[in-house]
């Protein structure tokens, strides 16, 4: 054997994540977090989108957060390979927070039979696999606990669409034969979301409500076992808790219906139960308005103590009560409980709702949602103090590298995954005070192929079959 001419061999073993079941390269710091300002001068006064935020001992490395997005791809409530790839890919791209989609605490609380669920211990391991991977990348991940209420037992959006295209004119309610529960859809009152298309719900009994609270408590214990960093309670988009607070869908005459205090009783009870069991961050997502001003007039008319529909005034009251119970983050969305809603979607169209909460509620972190698609837009929302964090959804699916692209556009340097380092040479340039481009950490711009001009050769010859 010929002796190597190398004077000194590299003596260090490859560094992997300790305790992870397979080899996984170690990340020096959280992906998407700011690199040391002493080396990267552009980070001395970073844009607020990239300021970390700490909540109950959990540090979120930036403020571009992933909203929960239903994938309708679970197997009897369990996460599948789709979720591992879907959520794991986000963890590789530097999002400040990742959230598992609406996850039912009882089987009949699913929107579709393919929803995620956390109603039994057998489902724990599928979630733990994903959470362990995200944590191995030093990411932050939580889960949204939910109950679909009167919108349950429906077909997936794509199955419904294909059926309509094929001429189907019936309902979207899934039969028992196909895994549905059409006779066990539960709401606060027996009022269908859309007669003939959605199920006719059964009114939740007092016993059902007590068992539901126990189910949220049990799901919280499973979240502890799994290792989630935070929990969000789903109280938006016309699902059960939104249905309870809304006078249009709640016509009960017991302690959970009628007055505002009664209608918001169940969300507050659930939040209090989870807060007692959960010492990490707790979020609550709500719909701040039904968007019915043009249909039903004011949320509350003059000279009356009756609320006509759910809107920002009642939302403000509920949010302050949630804050007083120890909810840390309010995730401000809207709509979904009445098909008469008049919405005009546009960039940041829901921001005024978050801004109202931000200015009128004490001691709670406010998250904004709604067609947030550009780095400047996201950063301006926070810089202008209209919200503390931004949640992105569809933009995540369109552009999963958004956090890293935002850092590049806003002029700061954040950590990419070590495996993707060479793709971000433009962002990782170390600069002197005069902003002169310097060598990136370990890889020059040329090595990263970021500064090369495309080589232009002769045009390709056309194949003889092309006229």
How far CA 56 is from CA of 21, 97, 153, 337, in Å, comes to 29, 15, 36, 33
- Compute φ and ψ for 318, nearest 5 degrees: -60, -45
- The C-alpha R_g of the chain, in whole angstroms, comes to 25
pLDDT tens over the chain, length 467 residues: 667 677 899 999 999 999 999 999 999 999 999 999 999 999 999 999 999 999 999 999 999 999 999 999 999 999 999 999 999 999 999 999 999 999 999 999 999 999 999 999 999 999 999 999 999 999 999 999 999 999 999 999 999 999 999 999 999 999 999 999 999 999 999 999 999 999 999 999 999 999 999 999 999 999 999 999 999 999 999 999 999 999 999 999 999 999 999 999 999 999 999 999 999 999 999 999 999 999 999 999 777 889 999 999 999 999 999 999 999 999 999 999 999 999 999 999 999 999 999 999 999 999 999 999 999 999 999 999 999 999 999 999 999 999 999 999 999 999 999 999 999 999 999 876 545 444 444 334 443 444 444 444 444 444 333 33
Whether 24 maps to a domain, the answer reads no
The closest of 327, 349, 341 to 238, measured between CA atoms, is 341
The two tokens of residue 379 are 């950063």
How far CA 68 is from CA of 102, 110, 123, 331, in Å, comes to 7, 15, 19, 11
Query: Looking at the 3D structure of the chain, how many domains does it have?
Result: 1
Asked about 72 being catalytic, the answer comes back as no
Whether 288 maps to a domain, the answer reads yes
Residues 6 or more apart whose Cβ sits within 8 Å of residue 205: none
Q: What share of the chain is helix, strand, coil (3-state, %, to 5)?
A: 35, 15, 50
**Three-class SS of 123-155:** HHHHHHHHHHHHHHCCCCEEEEEECCHHHCCEC
Identify whether the C-beta of residue 362 lies closer than 8 Å to the C-beta of residue 264: no
Whether 326 maps to a domain, the answer reads yes
Distance between CA atoms of residues 268 and 374, nearest Å: 35
Could you identify the residue written with the tokens 């919405």? 343
Whether 217 maps to a domain, the answer reads yes
Helix (H, G, I), strand (E, B) or coil at 51: coil
> What does pTM read for this prediction?
0.92
Identify whether the C-beta of residue 233 lies closer than 8 Å to the C-beta of residue 219: no
DSSP 8-state secondary structure symbol assigned to residue 463: P
The two tokens of residue 155 are 């077909």
Helices (H), 27-123: 81-91
Whether 46 maps to a domain, the answer reads yes
Whether 451 maps to a domain, the answer reads no
Identify whether the C-beta of residue 361 lies closer than 8 Å to the C-beta of residue 322: no
Q: Which domain holds residue 142?
A: 41-415
- Compute φ and ψ for 452, nearest 5 degrees: -85, 135
Catalytic member of 72, 127, 133, 239: 239
How far CA 423 is from CA of 140, 408, 413, in Å, comes to 23, 12, 13
Distance between CA atoms of residues 78 and 419, nearest Å: 29
Q: What is the CATH number of the domain that holds 180?
A: 3.20.20.70
Whether 32 maps to a domain, the answer reads no
Identify whether the C-beta of residue 328 lies closer than 8 Å to the C-beta of residue 55: yes
Whether 463 maps to a domain, the answer reads no
């Amino acid at each position: 054997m010929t002796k190597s001419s190398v004077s000194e061999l590299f003596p260090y073993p490859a560094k992997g994540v300790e305790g992870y079941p397979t080899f996984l390269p170690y990340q020096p710091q959280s992906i998407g977090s700011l690199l040391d300002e002493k080396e990267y001068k552009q980070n001395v006064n970073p844009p607020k989108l990239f300021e970390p935020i700490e909540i109950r001992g959990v540090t979120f490395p930036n403020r571009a957060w992933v909203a929960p997005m239903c994938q309708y791809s679970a197997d009897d409530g369990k996460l599948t390979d789709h979720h591992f790839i879907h959520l794991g890919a986000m963890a590789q791209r530097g999002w400040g927070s990742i959230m598992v989609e609406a996850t039912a605490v009882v089987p009949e609380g699913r929107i579709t039979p393919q929803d995620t669920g956390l109603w039994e211990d057998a489902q724990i391991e599928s979630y733990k696999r994903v959470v362990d991977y995200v944590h191995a990348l030093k990411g932050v991940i939580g889960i949204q606990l939910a109950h679909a209420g009167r919108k349950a037992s429906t077909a997936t959006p794509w199955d419904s669409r294909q059926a309509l295209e094929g001429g189907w004119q019936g309902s979207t309610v899934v039969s028992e034969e196909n895994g549905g529960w059409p006779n066990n859809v539960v709401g606060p009152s027996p009022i269908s979301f859309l007669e003939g298309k959605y199920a006719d719900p059964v009114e939740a009994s007092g016993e059902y409500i007590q068992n539901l609270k126990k189910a949220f408590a049990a799901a919280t214990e499973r979240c502890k076992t799994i290792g989630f960093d935070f929990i969000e309670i789903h109280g938006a988009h016309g699902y059960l808790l939104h249905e309870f607070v809304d006078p249009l869908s709640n016509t009960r005459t017991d302690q959970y219906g009628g007055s505002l205090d009664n209608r918001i009783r169940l969300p507050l009870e659930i939040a209090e139960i989870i807060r007692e069991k959960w010492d990490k961050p707790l979020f609550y997502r709500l719909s701040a308005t039904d968007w019915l001003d043009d249909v039903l007039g004011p949320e509350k008319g003059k000279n009356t103590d009756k609320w006509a529909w759910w809107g920002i005034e009642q939302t403000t009251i509920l949010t302050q009560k949630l804050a007083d119970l120890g909810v840390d983050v309010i995730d401000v969305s809207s709509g979904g409980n009445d098909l008469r809603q008049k919405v005009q979607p546009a960039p940041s169209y829901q921001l005024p709702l978050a801004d109202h909460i931000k200015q009128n509620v004490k001691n709670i972190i406010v998250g904004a949602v709604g067609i947030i698609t550009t780095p400047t837009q996201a950063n301006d929302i926070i810089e202008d103090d209209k919200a503390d964090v931004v949640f992105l959804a569809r933009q995540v699916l369109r552009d999963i590298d958004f956090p890293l692209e935002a850092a590049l556009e806003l002029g700061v340097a954040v950590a990419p995954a070590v495996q993707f380092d060479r793709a971000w040479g433009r962002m990782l340039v170390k600069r002197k005070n005069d902003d002169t481009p310097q060598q990136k950490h370990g890889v020059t711009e040329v090595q990263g192929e970021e500064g090369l001009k495309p080589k232009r050769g002769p045009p390709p010859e056309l194949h003889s079959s092309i006229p």
